[in-house]
Amino acid sequence: MAGFDWIVPVILTMITAATPLVFAGIGELITEKSGVLNLGVEGMMLVGAVTGFITATVTGNYFLAVLAAAFAGSVMAFLFGVLTLSLMANQVATGLALTLFGVGLSALMGQEFVGMPVDPLDKLYISGLTDIPYIGPIIFGQDGLVYLSFAVVAAVSWFLYKTKAGLILRAVGDSHDAAHSIGYSVIGIRYLAVMFGGAMSGIGGAYLSLAYTPMWAENMTAGRGWIALALIVFATWKPGLVLIGAYMFGGITILQLHAQAAGLDVPSQVLSMLPYVATVLVLVLISKDQSRIRKHAPACIGKIFHPAA
Amino acid sequence: MLLKIEKRSESSRVMVYMTPIIALVLTVLCSTVLFTLLGVSPVEALNTFFIQPLDSRYDLSELFVKATPLMLIAIGLSVGFKANVWNIGAEGQLTMGAIVGSSLFIYFHDIDSVFLLPAMILLGAIGGAAWAAIPAFLKTRFNANEILTSLMLVYVAILFLSVLVHGPWRDPDGFNFPESRTFSDSADMPILVAGTRMHFGTLLALLAVLGTWIMMAKTLVGFQIKVIGSAPTAGGYAGFSQKKIIWFTLLFGGALAGVAGLSEVAGPIDQIIPTISPGYGFTAIIVAFLGRLHPVGIFFASLLMALTYLGGETAQISLGLPVAVTGVFQGMVLFFLLASDVLVNYRFRLNIGRKAVS
Amino acid sequence: MTLKSIPSLLGAVAVAGSMLMGATAMAEDKIGFVYVGPVGDHGWTYRHDLGRQAVQNELGDKVKTTFVESVKEGPDSERVIRQMAADGHKLIFTTSFGFMNPTLKVAKQFPDVKFEHATGYKRADNVSAYSARFYEGRYVVGKIVGNMTKSNVIGYIGSFPIPEVVRGINALTLAAKSVNPDIKVKVAWVSTWYDPGKEADAAKALIDQGADVILQHTDSPAPLQVAEERGVWAVGQASDMSRFAPKAQLTAIIDDWDGYYVARTKAALDGSWKSEDTWGGFNTGMVDLAPYNKAIPADLIALAEKTRNGIEDGSILPFAGPFNKQDGSVGAKDGEALDDGTLLGMNWYVEGVEGELPK
C-alpha cells in the first residue's frame, strides 16, 4: 500500500519533535502539581541543552552529558526555588526573569562551542526486531532518551496516583495550609518538585542539542519551553495526556510541513495557531465542569505559601 | 532551621525604601565577580551599564522611549494583579492594539485629519481591550484560568500579525517585503521634545500612572479591587461583584497594552513590521512586580528596566561585551530586587539557643 | 556598608568610569556593525561578523570595530544605530532588512557619518545599499542537483515568502530544469529564519515526500544533519557546513562579506566613499561556493564551473528567457532577461515549483 508509506516517517519525525516537549512538560507538571508555576522552562531547557552539549563534546560520554544537563536544569530550578519558596518572590515574575537569565547564561557558556558538530545519540538496533516493517523502526529503533521519556511519564503517573508520596505532593498543591497543618513540609516538598521540573527541562534541552539537532546554537529551543507550558493545560495536568498532547503538538507541525511538501495549499501561520487555540478550548471545556477541574488542576498554583505558625 | 522568616505585623516602611538599595549593593558585589571573571573592569562595566546611558539629554529621552511601553503595560497589569487577576498576555493585547489601531491608517491612508491619530489611539485601546475580553469572558463564564488563556492568545495575535504583514498589509511599493507603508504625518505620534524620539506616548504613560494612582487611592473601583484582592470573601459580603472586577481589570490592562502597541507603531517604529515588540508584554510583568504594583514603584521600575537594556547596548559598543552578558546581568538584578522584597513584609530571625515556638 | 557611603561609592564609580572612558579614546577610527541575530547563530549574523573580523585584521590598529548583536528590528535598532553614530563611528553597517528605515532616519541626523544597509532598497547621500545575488549561487547549484537527483524531486526549505527567498527557489528551478526537464521542486515554509528543530522537521518531511536533495533558505545546519543521516544530498547555506554533513553536502552557497567590508572601510578612511547601490554576485566575491563534494562527477563540476564563469562574465543570465511562470504565463520571452526591478519584487514561482506561493 503505497498510500500509507508516509505514515511511518511521519511518526518517526513526530517522536523526535515531541520528545523534548514530553520531558519539559512532565517536569513542569510535577512542579505545577505541587502548586508552583515556573515560567522559566525555556531558560532551564537552554541551560540544559548547552550543558549537555559541552559535556558530550568534552567527555564524549552521553550518559554523563544527560546527567549534567539534568543537574544544570535543577540548579536553575533551585535558584527559582530560593526566590519563590524561601524568599516568597512572585512566581510569574521570577519565572520570566529566570528565562532572561537562562538565555544569557547559556549563550555565555556556549560561546566556544558554536559551529561544532557532535555525533547524534545512538539509536537502538536489534537485528530482526528493528527490521520489522512499519512498527520495527518505531518501536525498536529509537534513542535512549525517547525510551526514557516514556518511562518517566509512566513513573510520574504511578508516583502521583499510586504512592503515598504522590498523594502528599498533590495535597501540597491543592491546599498547602491543610498539608502544613498535618505536618508536611510544604516548602521542602515544593523544592523537590521544582528541582525535578528543572532536571526534566534540562534533559528536554539536551535532547535538542544531542539527538534532535546535534549541535549547539544560541536560543536553539526556539520557544519550545512555552509550548510545554501550554501542553500541561491541554493535558489537564494528567501525565498520560502530556505524552499524547506532546505528540499532537509536535504532530501538527509535522503534518503541516508534509502537506506543504505535498503541494497542498495551507496557510502556515493559521495552522501554527491551532495548538494554542486548541489549548484554550480544552481549558474552557475542563474548566466548565467544576468537579473535573478540581480533580486535576492544582488549586494552589502560583500562590505563595508562608506557614502561619 | 537556623534562620527563620517571620511575617511582620505590618509592612515595614523603612524596608520599602531600603530594599532597592540592598538589591543594588548585592548587584554591585555580584557583578564585580561576574565582570572580573569576564576580564572586564567592574567599575568600567557598572559605569557603562548604569551611568553612561544617562549622560546626555538625548540619552535620557531614549530612556523614556524605551520605558514608555513598559510603563503603560505594567501600570495596566498592576491593577489586575492587585485583584489577583493574572493577565500575562499583554504581549498579545499590545499586538492587537497595534493592529486594530493602525488598521485605520492602513485602509484610509490618504486621510489628513487631526482626528486620525486620536481615533487610532482609541481603536488601539479597543483592540487591546477586546483581546483581553476573551480571557475575561472565558474566566467569568467558564472559569478558565486567565494565566493560561491570555498566554495562549499571545501566540495567536503574533501569528495574526504575521499573516497581515506578509500578506494584505504589505507596502504596495515595498517590493513585497514584509512591512507596511510608513505612517503619514497625521498618523504619527507628535514628538514631545524636538530633536529626540520622545513622543506623545510617553505623556500617555505618565498620565496612565497618575490616573491609576488616583483611581486606586480615591475611587470606589480602586477600593473594591483592593478588597477583592486581599480578601475575596469579604468583598463578596460587601456586595462587590468579583466578576465585574475581573472584567474591569482585564479590559483596563488590555486597553493600556493596546495603547502601548499603537504608540510604538505610530511612534518610533512608524510602520507595521513583523515584530512590533521585543517582549514588552512579558517584561512589563517583571516591571509591575519590581514596582511592587504601586504606581510610583512602577514608574521607577520601568525606567530601571529600560536602563539595563540601554546599558547592555552601550556595554556591547564600548566594552565589546556580548549581549549574553546583558541577559545574565539583568537576571541577576531582577533576582536581587525580587528577593530583597521579602524584607518588606517579613523579617529574618536567628534561632540560636531558643526553641522554635510552633 | 552604611547607607551614607553608597552615594559616595556611586560617585567614585562615575568618576573612575569617566576617566577610563577618556583613556580609551584613541586616534583610530571606529567602524560599527549592527546585527539582527547573535554572532553565535552560525548563519547570517555569523558571516557578517566574520566580515567585521576581516576588517579588523586587514586594517589592524587603524580601526576599531564594534558590534551590537541581537538588535530587534523596531525602535531598538534606531537607538543602537544612533548611539553608534553619536559615539563617533565613522562607518556603520546595518545588516538586516528591517534596519532600513531606522538607518535612513539616523543617517539624516548624522550627515557626516557613513552608513551601509544590507538587503534593502532605499538609499541616501550617506547611505549605501548592498546585497548579494545569492540566486546566482543557487543557479549554479541547480545545474548540479538537477543531475544528481535520482527521484527528480528537490526539497526546498523556505523561511518567509519574500522576494529574496522566492528568487532563490526560481533560480534553482530554472537551472535544474535546464539540465533535467522532469525536475520538480517541493517547498516547505517554516515561518522562521532560525529554528534548528523545525528546519530539521521540514527536511525530514521533504525527504519523506521523495526529495533526495535538500536546499534551504534558513540559517541552521540542522537540515544538513538530517540529509547526512538519511543519505540524501544537501546544499549548505551561508557557511561551508561540511563539518555537519561531510558526506551529504554537495557544496554550500557562501555569503562572503569580507571583501566588501574591507573595501568600503578603506574607502571611508581615505575619503573616496560614495553612496552606492551594490548588488554583488560571484564577480564581487560576495557569493561563493564551498569546495565541491568528491562524489560529484568531474563533468558536472566542469558544467558548474562553466556556468559560474558565465555568470561572472555576464554571458549567462539566470533569469534569461524563455521560461514560463508556474501558472503557464510567460515569465520571460526568448532573448529577454528579467531586470533587477522585477527580480527585487519577485512574487511568483516559475514552472516546475510545486504548491502555491503563500500570499
Mean pLDDT of chain C: 89
Nearest-Cα distance to chain C for B119, in Å, is: 23
State pLDDT tens for residues A226-260. 889 888 888 888 999 999 999 988 888 888 888 88
Where does the pLDDT of residue C259 fall: very low under 50, low under 70, confident under 90, or very high at 90 and above?
very high
C67: part of which helix (H) or strand (E)? strand C63-68
Q: Check C40 against A262: CB less than 8 A apart.
A: no
Q: What is the pLDDT of residue A275?
A: 75
Interface contacts B/C by beta carbons within 8 Å: 118
Mean pLDDT of chain B: 89
Q: Cβ contacts (< 8 Å) between C73 and chain B: which residues? A: 273-275
For residue B207 the three cell numbers come to: 498620565
Exposure letters A96-112 (e unless 16+ CB within 10 A, then b): bbbbbbbbbbbbbbbee
CA-CA distance, B272 to B262, in Å (whole number)? Answer: 10
* Cβ(A81)–Cβ(A198) below 8 Å: no
Specify the amino acid at residue B330.
Q
Residue (of B252, A20, B25, B90) closest to C3 by Cα position: B25
C115: part of which helix (H) or strand (E)? strand C114-118
Q: Check A269 against B88: CB less than 8 A apart.
A: no
For B142-173, the DSSP string reads H---HHHHHHHHHHHHHHHHHHHHHTTTS-TT
CA-CA distance, C98 to C96, in Å (whole number)? Answer: 5
Q: Cβ contacts (< 8 Å) between C165 and chain B: which residues? A: none
The residues near C60 (Cβ < 8 Å, ≥ 6 apart) are none
Which residue of chain C has the CA closest to A265? C356
CA-CA distance, C326 to C354, in Å (whole number)? Answer: 8
**For residue B358, pLDDT beyond 50:** no
Cβ atoms within 10 A of the Cβ of B282, count?
Answer: 23
Residues belonging to chain C: 359
User: CA–CA distance from B87 to each of A90, B152, B224, B275 (Å)?
Assistant: 14, 11, 18, 21
The residue-averaged pLDDT of C35-44 equals: 85
Cβ atoms within 10 A of the Cβ of A282, count?
Answer: 19
Residues in a beta bridge with C128:
C116
Specify the amino acid at residue C321.
G
Lowest-pLDDT range, A135-139, B295-299, B350-354, C330-334? B350-354
Q: Which of B47, B62, B167 is the closest to C17 by Cβ?
A: B47
Q: What is the pLDDT of residue C140?
A: 97
Q: Check C188 against A262: CB less than 8 A apart.
A: no
Structure letter (DSSP) for residue B193: S
Instruction: Report the CATH number of the C28-132 domain.
Output: 3.40.50.2300
Q: Which of B166, B282, B323 is the closest to A96 by Cβ?
A: B282
State pLDDT tens for residues B112-146. 888 999 999 999 999 999 999 999 999 999 888 88
Interface contacts A/C by beta carbons within 8 Å: 124
Interface contacts A/B by beta carbons within 8 Å: 152
Q: Cβ contacts (< 8 Å) between A267 and chain B: which residues? A: 163
In chain A the domains, ranked by start, together with CATH numbers, are 2-120+127-296 (1.10.3470)
Q: Cβ contacts (< 8 Å) between C237 and chain A: which residues? A: none
More confident of the two residues B161 and C17 = B161
Mean pLDDT of chain A: 88
For residue A39 the three cell numbers come to: 515560567
pLDDT above 90 covers a percentage of chain B that reads: 49
State pLDDT tens for residues C144-167. 999 999 999 999 999 888 889 999
Q: What is the pLDDT of residue C167?
A: 95
CA-CA distance, C151 to C223, in Å (whole number)? Answer: 19
Cβ atoms within 10 A of the Cβ of C359, count?
Answer: 12
Of these ranges, B3-17, B231-245, C333-347, the one predicted with the greatest mean pLDDT is C333-347
Q: What is the pLDDT of residue C182?
A: 95
Query: Is the four-CA dihedral C220, C226, C228, C233 of positive or negative sign?
Result: negative
Q: Check A261 against C40: CB less than 8 A apart.
A: no
SS3 B66: helix
Q: What is the pLDDT of residue B348?
A: 78
State pLDDT tens for residues B291-327. 989 999 999 999 999 999 999 999 999 888 888 888 8
The residues near B357 (Cβ < 8 Å, ≥ 6 apart) are none
Q: Cβ contacts (< 8 Å) between B267 and chain C: which residues? A: 75
The residue-averaged pLDDT of C205-234 equals: 94
Residue spans per domain, chain C:
28-132, 134-254+287-344
CA-CA distance, B112 to B169, in Å (whole number)? Answer: 20
Q: Check A254 against C201: CB less than 8 A apart.
A: yes
- The residue assigned the cell 569617566 is C18
State pLDDT tens for residues A52-70. 999 999 999 999 999 999 9
Nearest-Cα distance to chain C for A228, in Å, is: 15
Nearest-Cα distance to chain C for B357, in Å, is: 33
Q: Check A215 against C244: CB less than 8 A apart.
A: yes
Question: Which candidate in A213, A264, A272 is best for mutational testing of the C interface (most C CBs within 10 A)?
Answer: A213
User: CA–CA distance from B120 to each of B130, B267, C167 (Å)?
Assistant: 15, 12, 37
For β-strands C249-255 and C287-289, DSSP reports them as: antiparallel
State pLDDT tens for residues A154-181. 999 999 999 999 999 999 998 888 888 8
Subunits that touch chain B (at least 3 Cβ pairs < 8 angstroms)?
Answer: A, C
Residue (of B256, B276, B259) closest to B268 by Cα position: B276
State pLDDT tens for residues B209-268. 999 999 999 999 898 888 888 777 777 777 778 899 999 999 999 999 999 999 999 999
Residue (of B312, B264, B238) closest to B121 by Cα position: B264
Q: Cβ contacts (< 8 Å) between A272 and chain C: which residues? A: 191
Nearest-Cα distance to chain B for A12, in Å, is: 27
For residue C14 the three cell numbers come to: 562615575
Subunits that touch chain A (at least 3 Cβ pairs < 8 angstroms)?
Answer: B, C
Q: What is the pLDDT of residue A295?
A: 64
Q: Which of A86, A101, A233 is the closest to B331 by Cβ?
A: A101
Q: Check B309 against C76: CB less than 8 A apart.
A: yes
For residue B317 the three cell numbers come to: 559598543
Q: In what order do the strands lie in the sheet with C287-289?
A: C184-189, C153-158, C213-216, C233-238, C249-255, C287-289
Structure letter (DSSP) for residue A84: I
State pLDDT tens for residues A191-217. 999 999 999 999 999 999 999 999 998
Rg value, chain C, Cα: 23
B72: part of which helix (H) or strand (E)? helix B57-82
Question: Which candidate in A108, A113, A216 is best for mutational testing of the B interface (most B CBs within 10 A)?
Answer: A108
Specify the amino acid at residue A115.
G
SS3 C176: helix
Nearest-Cα distance to chain B for C84, in Å, is: 7
User: CA–CA distance from B350 to each of A309, B343, C71 (Å)?
Assistant: 16, 15, 47
Q: What is the pLDDT of residue A181?
A: 87
Indicate the pTM of the whole model.
0.88
Cis peptide bond upstream of A307, omega within 30 = no
Answer yes or no: same fold for C28-132 and C134-254+287-344.
Answer: yes
Q: Which of A10, A214, A257 is the closest to C225 by Cβ?
A: A214
Cβ atoms within 10 A of the Cβ of A87, count?
Answer: 18
Which residue of chain B has the CA closest to C159? B166
* Cβ(B241)–Cβ(B75) below 8 Å: no
Q: Cβ contacts (< 8 Å) between C197 and chain A: which residues? A: 17, 20, 208, 212-213, 220, 222, 224
Q: Cβ contacts (< 8 Å) between A307 and chain B: which residues? A: 358
Instruction: Report the CATH number of the C134-254+287-344 domain.
Output: 3.40.50.2300
The strand ranges marked E within C145-261 are: 153-158, 184-189, 213-216, 233-238, 249-255
CA-CA distance, B325 to A245, in Å (whole number)? Answer: 36
Where does the pLDDT of residue A290 fall: very low under 50, low under 70, confident under 90, or very high at 90 and above?
low
State pLDDT tens for residues B265-294. 999 999 999 889 988 999 999 899 889 899
For C17-80, the DSSP string reads HHHHHHHH--SSEEEEEE-SS-GGGSSHHHHHHHHHHHHHHHHGGGEEEEEE-S--TTHHHHHH
- The residue assigned the cell 545599499 is C129
Residue spans per domain, chain B:
64-288
Q: Check B51 against C72: CB less than 8 A apart.
A: no
The backbone torsions φ and ψ at residue A222, rounded to the nearest 5 degrees and listed phi first, read 45, 45
CB < 8 Å from B in window 136-165 of A: none
Lowest-pLDDT range, A62-66, B14-18, C25-29, C229-233? C25-29
Which residue of chain B has the CA closest to A85? B339
**For residue A137, pLDDT beyond 90:** no
CA-CA distance, B21 to C5, in Å (whole number)? Answer: 12
Nearest-Cα distance to chain A for B123, in Å, is: 24
- Report chain C's terminal Cα–Cα distance, integer Å: 63
The residue-averaged pLDDT of B6-31 equals: 82
Q: Which of A9, A111, A269 is the closest to C191 by Cβ?
A: A269
**For residue A85, pLDDT beyond 70:** yes
For B269-332, the DSSP string reads I-S--S---SSHHHHHHHHHHHTTT-HHHHHHHHHHHHHHHHHHHHIIIII---HHHHHHHHHH
Query: Could you give the maximum distance between any two Cα atoms of chain A, in Å?
Result: 69
More confident of the two residues A148 and C16 = A148
**For residue A281, pLDDT beyond 70:** yes
pLDDT above 90 covers a percentage of chain A that reads: 50
For A114-166, the DSSP string reads TT---PPPPBP--TTTTTSTTHHHHHHS-BHHHHHHHHHHHHHHHHHHHSHHH
The strand ranges marked E within chain A are: none
- Cα C267 vs. chain centroid, distance in angstroms? 23
Q: Check C160 against B316: CB less than 8 A apart.
A: no
Residues in a beta bridge with C188:
C157
**For residue C218, pLDDT beyond 60:** yes
Q: Which of C20, C79, C359 is the closest to B62 by Cβ?
A: C79
Q: Check C163 against B324: CB less than 8 A apart.
A: no
Of these ranges, A269-283, B169-183, B242-256, the one predicted with the greatest mean pLDDT is B242-256
For residue A117 the three cell numbers come to: 558538530
Q: What is the pLDDT of residue B357?
A: 43
SS3 C291: coil
Q: Cβ contacts (< 8 Å) between C165 and chain A: which residues? A: none
Nearest-Cα distance to chain C for A255, in Å, is: 8
So what's the ipTM on this one?
Answer: 0.87
CA-CA distance, B301 to B293, in Å (whole number)? Answer: 10
CA-CA distance, C156 to A260, in Å (whole number)? Answer: 11
Rg value, chain A, Cα: 20
**For residue A283, pLDDT beyond 70:** yes
For β-strands C323-324 and C330-332, DSSP reports them as: antiparallel
Of these ranges, B40-44, C60-64, C262-266, the one predicted with the greatest mean pLDDT is C262-266
Q: Is A107 on the interface with B (CB under 8 A)?
A: yes
